[in-house]
Chain A
Amino acid sequence: MEELLKLIETNPTLTSAQLAVMLECSQEQVEKMISECTAKGIIKGYRAVIDWEKTGTSMVKAMIELKVTPKKGRGFDEIAMAIAAMDEVEGVTLMSGGYDLLVEIRAKSFQEIAMFVFKRLSPMDDVNETATHFVLRPYKQAGIIFHEDEEDTRGLNAL
């Protein structure tokens, strides 16, 4: 199971037949495992990793640190889920250390992100403090190196 998950995490386009050969089991077993993992919410979805900078599409990302007030009995869940429900938000993570929640957000411009923080996050009752960090350039995302692909310098004369 773990092996299957590792494989599809890095190669989501492998077919169940290909996976079956690699894992030495039947195609039916692979399909069963995948549907079980999906049903249990272990597999959350499949996404392509895109370097938007190369497309010329205007795209700005930011990481926002939030200090919040946890609620009695529900801890950070309520405020975290409320933020996660916003369309602009790509990720919400509870952190240890100097702040509580890390919010990842993507928008068309710096202005749009500033407005989002200013109009939607900051006014929330339980949000005490925000610190917005704009992403200047991603170098590696989801295990994939951006910009300079690591070149395969091995020669064909290596016999």
Chain B
Amino acid sequence: MIDYSKYLNKAIRDIPLSPIEKISMMAREVDDCIILGVGEPDFKTPWRIREAGIQSLEKGRTWYSPGLGLLPLKKAICEYQKRRFKLEYTPDEVMVTVGGSEGIDMLFRVMLEEGDEVILPTPCYVSYDPIAKMCGAKVVEVELKQENNFRLSARDLKKAITDKTKILVLPFPGNPTGAIMEEEDLLAIADVIKDTDIFVMTDEIYAELTYGEYHHVSFASIPGMKERTVVINGFSKSYAMTGWRLGYALGPRPIIDAMATLHQVAVICAPITSQYAAVVAMNECDGEIDAMRHQYDMRRRFLINELNAIGLPCYNAQGAFYVFADIRGTGMTSEQFCEKLLLEGHVAVIPGNAFGKAGEGFVRISYSYSLDHLMEATKRISAFLKTLK
């Protein structure tokens, strides 16, 4: 019997099993379970985007693309970013990636070395921490607090900075919290950053999904920050294109070039069918984004209102498609709550500690589901909460 673990490097062995895995396995065993767990849109990719992909296949355009992506797509991305978020980039500052996640991976790998520190506001998306650790870097978590609407404050950031800090991750609008950072919040962060050597990776994959009066402001649009920022974005969330695996990174040319070098040897290029489809997404589908956002927003208001009414407090999350409900009043840990809710209430939600220690005491509930589904789920959660009293 071969001990395969001896072949695995220490960094991967040290990455613990996510609590999400456990809930996911349990949910498969529960009949009639209603799931509010997923982190992807329930909408289908808008038809004309799918059609563009199909047409490219019909024409037999099935080769590798240029490593950094098709030029028409890179141009379309620049125009889109200018139109929607006032960012000025040229096509040679764009790298088309395999989902937003590849951009994160590439940036960390070309920048981080043993001993470097990465500042991570948590709870946050689960991939930053293990990738940074795989690069030998140390992750310094900054706890985001509900009383601050899960925004990163300049004061907390300052406390986390050392002379080893190399990258600050800004994951807003945030998964799992749904938190946003308004322009004044970003200005305060920029004020801290400007006197340091810290580089910023702003993950703006949920940029199109903000609600109410608020429209996403990119950190790269803050004066003086573009030069030291890489923007990660993609098609998965705003265009409901998760399975197409397509994203992009925008940044200073020397950084993008270094990422490209690694990207070309690691993955060669992003899927070309997805790239042809994405050109149509960028150029023609602002209306589709708005329509999906409108639906999410109605569900968001419905869900936040229902959960608060049935005794599961949650703050007014203004971004992404998650609410982050506070379960501390139940006296249970996040995992205990999720397991009990699953087994007794037949509803699956995600424990907040899956997104970092700071998520303990909360659960992530996704509203990328039909209204019918959400209505049934909130009924069940309400009945479950009554049994706890």
A positions within 8 Å CB-CB of B: 7, 10-11, 13-14, 18, 21-24, 152, 154-159
Contacts of B21 in A (CB 8 A): 157
Asked if residues B375 and A159 are in contact (CB atoms below 8 Å), the reply is no
Surface stretch bound by A, among B137-145, B151-159, B299-307 = B299-307
Question: Contacts A10-B371, A11-B371, A152-B42 hold; do A157 and B301 have CB atoms under 8 A apart?
Answer: no
Asked if residues A159 and B301 are in contact (CB atoms below 8 Å), the reply is no
Asked if residues A156 and B305 are in contact (CB atoms below 8 Å), the reply is no
Question: Contacts A21-B301, A22-B302, A24-B301 hold; do A156 and B38 have CB atoms under 8 A apart?
Answer: yes
Q: What's the minimum C-beta distance from B355 to chain A, rounded to whole angstroms?
A: 9
- A sample of 17 inter-chain contacts (CB < 8 A) reads A7-B371, A10-B371, A11-B372, A11-B375, A13-B375, A14-B371, A22-B302, A152-B42, A154-B38, A154-B40, A154-B42, A155-B24, A155-B38, A156-B27, A156-B35, A156-B350, A157-B21
Contacts of B175 in A (CB 8 A): 159
9 tightest A-B CB contacts, nearest first: A156-B24, A21-B305, A158-B40, A22-B298, A154-B38, A156-B37, A159-B39, A158-B38, A158-B39
Q: Is the interface of B mostly helix, strand, loop or mixed?
A: helix
B242 within 8 A of A: yes
B positions within 8 Å CB-CB of A: 20-21, 23-24, 27, 35, 37-40, 42, 125-127, 175, 242, 298-299, 301-302, 305-306, 348, 350, 371-372, 375
Asked if residues A18 and B42 are in contact (CB atoms below 8 Å), the reply is no
Q: Is the interface of A mostly helix, strand, loop or mixed?
A: loop
Asked if residues A157 and B24 are in contact (CB atoms below 8 Å), the reply is yes
Asked if residues B125 and A14 are in contact (CB atoms below 8 Å), the reply is no
From the candidates A22, A154, A156, name the one contacting B20 in the complex (CB within 8 A). Answer: A156
From the candidates B37, B39, B305, name the one contacting A18 in the complex (CB within 8 A). Answer: B305
Asked if residues A157 and B42 are in contact (CB atoms below 8 Å), the reply is no
Q: What's the minimum C-beta distance from A49 to chain B, rounded to whole angstroms?
A: 12
* Most chain B beta-carbon neighbours within 10 Å: one of A10, A23, A152, A158: A158
Q: What's the minimum C-beta distance from B288 to chain A, rounded to whole angstroms?
A: 17
Q: What's the minimum C-beta distance from B308 to chain A, rounded to whole angstroms?
A: 10
Q: What's the minimum C-beta distance from A138 to chain B, rounded to whole angstroms?
A: 19
Q: How far is the CA of A112 from the CA of B23 in the complex (A)?
A: 54
Q: Looking across the interface, which residue of chain A has its beta carbon closest to that of B44?
A: A150
